[in-house]
Each structure stands twice: as C-alpha cells, then as structure tokens.
Chains A and B, each alone.
Chain A
Amino acid sequence: MAVTASACGGSAGGDDGEVTLRMSWWGSDSRHQLTQELIDAFEAEHPGITIEPEFTGWDDYWDRLATSAAGNNIPDVMQQDTRYVREYADRDALLDLNEYIPGTLDTSKLDPSVTATGQVDGATYAIPTGINAYTVVTDPEIYQQAGMELPDDETWSWDEFIDTAAKLTRETPGGTYGTQNIGFVETGLEVFARQRGESLFDENDKLGVSDETLADWFRLILESSERKAEPRPSLTVETQAGGVDQSLLATNKGAMGTWWTNELPTLTGSAGHELTLLRFPGESQAEQPGMYFKPAMFWAASSRSEHPEEAATFINWLVNSPKAAQIQLSDRGLPINTELRERISDDLEAPDQQSAKFLEKIGTDLADPPALPPPGAGEVQDILLQINEQLLFGRLSADQAAQQFRDQASAAIG
C-alpha cells in the first residue's frame, strides 16, 4: 500500500504536469456510458491524470487499432482480446507490465489461473478484466413446449445433445429449432479438443488438434444440420450474422445455443424470460474438462506510452478499485479480482447472478484456460467460419473440411 501511494505521489509531484492518457475500447452504447463513468471516477481520484476516451464497435476497433499501430500511435491503455494480444505483444507494441508489479499494479487478488493467460514467456502484456465461460444457454420454455425435460448436464454426451436438439425441432411447431449451429466460433472446437486432451493451439504455436478430432467435430456439425437439430443452412447463416440480438434464443425460436456467460443478460432481456446455463455436452465422458474460464477481455498498455507508470496506475485502478467494480459490475466479465467478485455479487442483475453462481458451481471442475493463441488466431477464426459454411452447404465433407482447416489454419499461424 505504501508503495502504491508513493508511486502515485511521485508521478504527480515529478514534473507537476498534467498527464493525459488515451484509452480505447470496443463495445455497445451501455459500455460506452459505463466506461465514461469509470473515467470520471478515476479522474476524480487522480487529479493529475486526464483520460481521453476512444471507442467503437468490435470490427472497427481492430481496423483502427492496427492502423494506429502503423502510425506508432496506439492508445496508452487499450481493451484487448485473446485473439489479438499476441499480434501486438509479439511485435513489441505492448508494454511489459512486470516492471510495475506489484508496486503500481497489484495482481495479488486477481484470479491466478486466468491472470496467467495475459503472460507470454514470463512477461505480462495484458491483465484480464474479468472472467467468462462458454456454455450451452438453454430456454426451458421451449423444452416445456415440446413436453421434454431439461437434460442432465453433468452426464450428457454429444450424441445426446444432437438427439435432444433434433427431437426438440420435431416436437415443437415449425420455425422453432433445437439449437443454433455451434460451429461458427472457434471456442466450441477448442472445448471439444480439450475434452480429448488436445487443444486448438499447442505450446509451440502450431495447431494442437488432431485430424481425427477435427473430422469428428465437423461430422458433429454436419449431423446437427442433417438431422434438423438446427435451421436450414441459409437461415443459419442469416441468424449468425444477426449476432446475439437476432439469435434463436433471443427471438424464442430455438431451445439452445452456445454463448458466453456475459451474453446472458442480453439473451435473457430479448427472450423475455429466464434462461438456463448448462455445461457443454461430453464433459463427463471427457479425458479432461473442456470448458474453462476465459478472460473476457484484457487491459493492456502501449509500449510507446510516454506515461507507462500512469497507464499501470490506471489499469490497477480498473481491476482493483471497489468503485470501478461497482460501476462495471459484469460488463467486462465477472471481476477478475476475486474479492471484488464476491463483494458485488449482490448488486448484480438476476442473469448475472445466475452466471456468477454457474461459474462458481463449475469452477471446481475446470482445468486451466489455454495460453494466448499465436498471432494469426484472428484469421483462424475467419477460416473456421468459412469452412463451417462450406460444410453446411454440402461443398465439403467432414474429412475435407478437416484437411482444409488444417492447411489454411497452419498457413495463417505459420
């Protein structure tokens, strides 16, 4: 505590000048408002520091960040994502925060296994904002409509998942489906691979998933489509493009879908009634648990920042200040600071409380999250999406899809 205080005093008294930090994030309008509140609160506590906000939606964010990186002009503090941390860190664009730990930046209260995902070769390039888990979100009302019981998620297998979803489509009126396609996001494949003791990427930055696992994954997707567990491909493509808001769960047209826990409030809000979180199928038959706590997003600082000390101070405040936690609640995942996670739990909205309880329940069963994926991971996601579509429209067999994914993804991260 004394160290932190002197560090703050030093920077404020040093040259007596006003320090301005640029900060960028992506998100929705509600996040923009929350973050502005965060900035105001921080500035009130740190009179010497002014924060200049820059915010956009997800897609524009990365175009913009890459372009400003080309001009050596990335913001002092930025929101980062698992897929992109190493793109920047490996090219020396991010500040190694180790120098400021534990003096300015206190990581002692942060969830250790998740915090480790911000590190590359011992250097700390990013601090997680909070935790998330990829789960099967389920609509109990549609199960009820079909006269079916919710599955037991502690025992259900992948076969059971497809059977259940196919039956749901059959037992409900037309236009209602068992599940939304689960093959568009790489995390589904990651969970599937981890259950078999593999991982999407290995520690040598190569693909860590075997041909057999890839082919089995694509077979599963194909089966889900062919057995009409999900809508027909063209509708699937449209639904996918609509994001969370237009998803089957949000529009009461599907009983299941794979989503991040921090998307539950949006899903619940649109669905208009309580949804249920389930574990991934296959967890009990698996070699090791496939599900994991994922850093929802990260805070990182620019290696070219003129005020690295202040940037670290700001990040420290964002993850450790009770005030910050109170403002953000679960917007950037459930707080990474475990004490604060407890403290705000009563203030959370119902769906977030539900997520928090779910994460607590499954937490004991989980293995450590995967390390940061290699540069090119963003492209691997694009490749998977494209191959998934080829597969759905019958342009590739499962084996061909596996082969193409391996070829293209290997080239992307090579």
Chain B
Amino acid sequence: MLTKILSGDMPRSTALAVVLIAILIGLAFAPFIFPGVRSVDTAARISIFIVLVASYDLMLGYGGIVSFAHTMFFGLGAYGVALASTHMGRGFDALLVGSVSGALIAALLALLIGLFSLRVRAIFFAMITLAVASAVAVLVSQLSGLTGGEDGLSYKIPRALGPAFKFADGELFGVRMDGKLLKYYLVFFSSLILFLVMLRIVHSPFGRVLLAIRENDFRAEAIGYRVVHYRVAATCISAAIAALAGALYAIWLRYVGPDTSLSMEIMIDILLMVVIGGMGTMYGAVIGATLFVLAQNYLQNLMDVAANAVTGVPILPDLLNADRWLLWLGVLFILSVYFFPTGIVGRLRQPR
C-alpha cells in the first residue's frame, strides 16, 4: 500500500525515512502542533515550495535541463488566480479557472521555449529562459493596468477560506474551526497530491527514459527515443505543476506581486533548495524546501545576533549582516555542487 502510494520509491535509509515522516507529520498537523499565524504561514510556504522545487527537479534532476524561467511559470499560476479572482469575483470557480488557465499557458509557453531551444542545444534553454523570464518580469511590472505593476494585486478569495467562516462550533485542541484552517488544508492536500503525482511520473516508464537521457543522451537517441520530445514534455509538465504551485501560493497569500512570485531571487532560492536537498530525487525537494524556508524565517535572526556579537571588527559585521545571508548560501551552493552533487538525500542514502 505504502509502496504503491510512493510509486515504489522507498526512502531506503532510516535517517531519511525519519526526517521525511517528521516533515509529513509536522506539515499535516501544523495548525495544531505549531499554532500561531507565523508558523502556520511557514508550514503553508513549505508545502507549496516542496511542490515548486520538486517540479523544478523534474526538469533539472531528471531531465538534465537548467531553466531560469521557473518563477515565470510559478507566477503565471499565481497571476492566473489573481486575475480570475479580480475579474470574476470571489468564488471557487474563479480559483479553478485561474489555476487551470495559468497551468495551460505555462505548459504552452514551456512548449514554445522548449521547441526553440532544446532542439538545438540544451544550454540554449538556460540562456533563453533567463532572457525570456527577465523580459516577462519587466513586462509584468510595466503593464500596471492589468497586473498592478510593482504593487501587485490584492483580491478576495471565497468566504469559505476566510477567518470569518466557521464550519464547526467550538475549538479542537484549541484551534478554531474556521476557513483559515480549511485554506491551510486545501494547500496542504493539494501539495501532497501534486507531489505524489510527480513521484508517480518520475517512476513511470516516461521518468525512466528521462533518466536514461540525463545519463547519456546520445545513447538514448540511438536506442530510438526522441530526446527532444521527452525533454520538451518534461519541461511542459514541470511548468504546469509550477503554475499550480503558484496558484496555491496566490490562494494562500490573497496577493500577488512581482516580488512574491516572479523575482530572480525566488529563482535562486529554488536552485539552492534543489541542490542542497539533492538533485534527481523527489525527496530532495522535500528536505531542501523545508530546510530552506525554515532557515529563511529563523536563521536570519541568528545571523543578526552573530553580527551584533562581532561589532567593531572590520567587515565581519557586514559579512554576517542578515541581509547578506545570500552570500553564505551562494558559497554553500557552490560547495554543494562540487562536493555533494547528490545533496542531503544522496548523503543519507549513501551506504556506509
């Protein structure tokens, strides 16, 4: 049963299994275990980023393709929900229309970019996605009439997902039975389903061909697989799922803006999460996203403490400034690519 749900991809390491179960339980019962606005928000972000990062890994770790447009796809889903909710009024139909059309447009765009660049050279893809994504980000902030520009869009989501809605009286373990709780579980279960779907995809025959291509694209081509078709298909699936993750994020935040869904910073965050967690394994996304989001929320405080501790020493406080945490992540990132290309999951699974 469990094997079936996990598509046969067992953790194959006690430590990994423990960590994964801990993350699953933590997220499944977050509103009860960690009550408080900030921690529930963190849990929702972790759920969404797991999906986003896993969808990126579908391309990078399984397809061997580097994309810099993943936030663009993410943003398409988010803006899809935002625009639908703005123009159709609040309602689940708007959420559905927004998510689905966002995902479709993302897949279509991925198809176009893929056909253009993957046909020639896989590295074209990285360069072209970087250029296209930046252009789209600039366009979104300039077309303020439609997208709200730099300010972004705020909108209303169905009442059933708001704090004013009560689906049951009283409290359960001290947690109010309101729409906010429903919204969290909408995000959590949607993410869980999307993640299991991806797990299924990578362990399907399609996923195996992708792995074969990543190992040796010449040989895969020689055996008779059209490498380009498989890569483009992986890109489209990945883009569509990223858009759905974006839609969830938009539902959770009730706001979209360039900074929350389109910026290059998020793209770099995704890269870090994938590499640190472990490329080429879906569980890497789980661990990478969880660690990263937690660190983002809590480690920066720690750096502030450290920076204050070394006041007076030249440069050191600047280096340890909480705003400079990207510097250390960058260093960590380079070191991981060199020394731990399989990331944390790879380490945990390594036979001793």
The answer to whether A and B come from one shared complex is no
